[in-house]
Amino acid sequence: MRRAGESKPVTELDPSVYAELDAELDAIEAGEVLDWDAFWSAQSEKVKPARIRGVVVKPPVDMPLSVVRKLDSVMGSTDEAEHKELLAVIFGADVFDTWETNGMGLREMQVVLAWAGAHMRGESVTFEEALALYAKAAAELERAGKAKPARPKAPGRARSSRKK
């Protein structure tokens, strides 16, 4: 015997639940329901793959907001770990190492991230346009004093402490 306020045991499902599910499935099959999943899947089919440093990749059509925010912070960063983590999420785990082996530099990687970021925001940009986006972002960061363009030190050269 059930007390007042207790719900039905799981084994006693209301037959109307089945009727509702059947009606929903019938509506989907009849094309009466918009199918977001099919629509969004078709979006990724529209993008053209690109070959970057010997690796064929598809630009992403979307990315979680947390990654998009991370992308903006990485634009001015010289931290390899940040770039590697972001590239793994966007293009796959081994892409960073392959691009590094194939000679990709920091600036080049940042341009690729600008290209990917634009695609994630729904903007189909060329590599040239991505370079311009990167240059603009780098200039804004430098003006704000948040980052300076990466300038690798020459191997074996110590910095001089002499004043000029």
- Residue 78: strand pairing partners: none
Give the global pTM: 0.60
CB 131 within 8 A of CB 113: no
* Residue, of 153 and 87, whose pLDDT is higher: 87
Q: What is the pLDDT of residues 52-78, one digit of tens each?
A: 999 999 888 887 776 767 766 776 677
Q: Would you list the domain boundaries of the chain?
A: 14-46, 49-144
Confidence of residue 104 (pLDDT cuts 50, 70, 90): very high
Q: What is the pLDDT of residues 116-157, one digit of tens each?
A: 889 888 888 999 999 999 999 889 888 887 655 444 444 444
